[in-house]
Homo-oligomer: A and B are copies of this chain.
Amino acid sequence: MPVYIVTVGDELLLGDTVNTNAAWLGQRLTDAGLAVRGASTVPDVMGEIVEAIRHAVQRASLVIVTGGLGPTHDDLTRDAVAEVFGKELEFHESWFRVVERAFASRGWSVPEANRSQAMVPSGFEIMRNDFGTAPGLFYTHDEDGREVDVAVLPGVPREMKHLVEDRLLARLGKQEKSVRAVVHIGTAGIGESHLQELLGDLSPFLDHGASLAYLPSLNGMRLRVTGTGSSQEAAGEQAAALVDVIDERAGRYVFSHNGLTLEAAVGQLLLERGMTVALAESCTGGRVADRLTNVPGSSEYVRGGVVAYCNSVKVAALGVQEDSLDDHGSVSEAVAAEMAAGVRERLGADIGLSSTGIMGPGGGTREKPVGTVWVGVSDARGTETRLLTLGAGREDNKKRAATAVLDLLRRRLIGI
């Protein structure tokens, strides 16, 4: 059942609002076994909305239109829908009474503008909106003998989600033939092309309907494995077979099979082992601590950290030797090692982690160009360091260095 999404609103094209509705719809409908085949965004211009809906109707068996159902003059979706399907707008008495009651409960009367929200194209059903004054609309259109379901929803995320979850999916329930299983694999420490080389020939799997997508991110690359089949079980088995071969060939880079972030995955490892961690961050400037503490419950295993952005803090708060700084510079293997060991000891954690490097744009030298980073890990067994050679962009470098620190922790915890 191919789905096409039309989102309406100038603010989306002007970039004032990020189109999170489209992303949410994509994820939710995919989970429900529906295939989103295309999405378009149009301005608050009658002709453009009409054309986009027509275009979608020709291609999809479910068209979802969101936005442009508000009470103001630039809300044109109702009129556009009526035009596309050759309908008249009719005043929907009983919905208007719902709106009246909603306003009355706050001691208000209905502003005149809100009357337009009770105008409904003839033949369309109303999907009751519990959180707003614009109802959802539903209609099944006959496109040359082919049935096309059309759902028209408000653009306010909370109302849109409510109408999809509680009205639309229930309504489509009878038709839903979910034969898709999705597994999200998190990987770190390897780039897209190298991972592809390592995975080698996957055509025995891909030729039989499974699919694999690379979703690169500087916080750790994700792989999306999708299996399809005549039943949920068959789809799940197909996905699992591909996941198994990925684990076999590239398992050391895999940190999760369930969509967990890298920081949540290492958090779980720490919890399972009853271990705590402390951070000595120079070039990552608190990013590693921030990512670790984004995970609910992280106070169980994060003792804390020191952001040592100047050398005197490295010495005073972490016990780095003045000699090491003088002899090797603050961006050096020796200093990374002393920072990791120092923070472990001073904050009384089982494991200490460190970063020191040159993030750019300034500060690079011929010997140590921007992107030179040392990271370190220290525990009861000893201290280990790693040199990273990153790029020129400060923000990217911070992301990658923080990911490398978390991956170093992961490897230490699972012993590779």
Contact = CB atoms under 8 A, between A and B. Distances in A.
Q: How large is the interface on A (under 10, 10 to 19, 20 to 34, 35 or more residues)?
A: 35 or more
A10 interface: yes
Interface string A286-320: 11111011101111001111111110110011000
A78 interface: no
Contacts of A290: 284-287, 289-290, 398
Interface string A143-167: 0000000000000101000000000
A44 B206 CA distance: 15
A392 B130 contact: yes
Contacts of A362: 296-297
B23 A17 contact: yes
A289 B280 CA distance: 13
A393 B131 contact: yes
A216 B156 contact: yes
Contacts of A346: 316-317
Nearest to A38: B42
Interface string A199-214: 0000000000000011
Contacts of A293: 285-286, 307, 309, 398
A111 interface: yes
Interface string A234-246: 0000000000000
A299 to B, nearest CB: 6
Contact of A14 (B30, B43, B216, B292): B30
Contacts of A316: 346-347
A310 B306 contact: no
Contacts of A305: 286, 306-307, 309
A214 to B, nearest CB: 6
A287 B12 CA distance: 27
A362 B298 CA distance: 11
A70 B15 contact: no
Identify the interface centre among A36, A114, A309, A346: most chain B CB within 10 Å of its CB. A309
A214 B155 CA distance: 13
A67 to B, nearest CB: 11
A18 B23 contact: yes
Contacts of A72: 192-193, 196, 214
A74 B24 contact: no
A125 interface: no
A60 B296 CA distance: 47
Nearest to A103: B193
A396 interface: yes
A393 to B, nearest CB: 6
10 closest cross-chain pairs (CB), A and B: A285-B293, A15-B26, A286-B289, A15-B27, A286-B286, A304-B313, A305-B307, A111-B193, A286-B290, A40-B40
13 contacts: A10-B213, A17-B23, A19-B22, A37-B48, A113-B197, A131-B392, A285-B289, A285-B302, A286-B288, A286-B290, A287-B290, A293-B307, A299-B363
